[in-house]
Amino acid sequence: MLEDGKIFEGENIGCSGETIGEVVFNTSMIGYQEILTDPSYCEQIVNMTYTQIGNYGVNSEDVESDKIQAKGLIVKECFGYYCNWRAEGSLPDYLKKYKIVGLEGIDTRQLTRHIRLKGSMKGIISTETDDKGELMEKLGSYPSIINRDLVKYVTCGKPYVYNPEKIGCRHTIVAVDFGVKLGILKCLDWEGFKIIVVPASVKTEEILKYDPEGIFLSNGPGDPSAVGYAVKTIKELIGKKPIFGICLGHQLLAIALGAKTYKLKFGHHGGNHPVKNLETGKVEITSQNHGFAVSEESLKNIKGTDCRVTHINLNDNTIEGLEFAGINAYTVQHHPEGKPGPHDSRYVFSKFTELIENFNK
């Protein structure tokens, strides 16, 4: 049941029980394991628009964190059997392992259309009751994703070095973990960085004591305006080191500089979103997962640095990239690591190396 009273009846997959979260739709045809384990899906129930999910199983490699982060999964048809040489188990068993309640057999495209027309909203999947009044009461008492700090549920507990056995690193960076995807850390690693990952609540002096050559602000879940402690730290870091941000990191840096964010009607979730690079004129197909965006109107509030929009979303003209020349910083809203999705934007990681090397000249 959705919070506007719309009901979809289907069959249970994964665990029995109840789960509540914001219902969003994802347009990717593959990559369901990466989607489920992406920390940015914390407190969200994911509705997959592609009709058949689970046919290549799951494995221990295609993950973005150490567990399923989504609150639930909705599919048209879930495969209990699978066929892939890398598979180590089935999707239904994977859901059961992490105690995730799922739903199959509904018209997922009707649900998608409903969300597009009405906007993302809370929903509940239940095997416990079909009493509409009881379900609505539970939905009404569950907190909204707006003005709620979800980062604290997905950030790391203490600092660590990613890939500590790596040798021959060109530069050392600190990655502030707001819910970082492993795919992003892998791309930064391939770029040649030594990566020190720190919790989202880390203080400025703790970051600077590592003497990094750059600061990376990661992706993460929820409303950026609710993560005030991160905004405070970012404000104190501005201008001291080159900064690169992705998704939530993009939004947090914009807020720290004076801009504002707003909630999108139904968000961007999928691996096929067209983004125009305003510097080259080329269109990149991107992977995206966010429910909030930076207000273009609010960019006029940014003072003390040149702020330039570098990328826009061709579906709705929302901001997909910013550059701040005066403080040696740039950000993107989409996911250049492309997991799951294309690799059109992978060059964004190389740009971080160039920014650091030019800063050090």
Active site residues: 247, 335, 337
Q: Show Cβ contacts of residue 339 under 8 Å, excluding neighbours closer than 6 positions.
A: 31, 34, 64, 181, 183, 287
Element (H, E) at 124: strand 121-126
Cα(69)–Cα(99) distance, integer angstroms: 11
Here the tokens at position 151 are 């980062």
Q: Are 96 and 127 in contact (CB under 8 A)?
A: no
The runs of H, that is alpha helices, within 68-215 are 91-97, 108-118, 132-141, 182-190, 204-208
Q: Of 99, 254, 63, which Cα lies nearest the Cα of 73?
A: 99
Q: Please list, in sequence order, all residues whose beta carbon lies within 8 angstroms of the beta carbon of residue 62, skipping any fewer than 6 positions away.
A: 31, 33, 34, 86
Does residue 44 contact residue 16 with C-beta atoms inside 8 Å? no
Q: How many helices (H) and strands (E) does the chain have?
A: 9, 18
First vs last C-alpha separation in the chain? 58
Q: Which residues pair with 22 in a beta bridge?
A: 44, 122
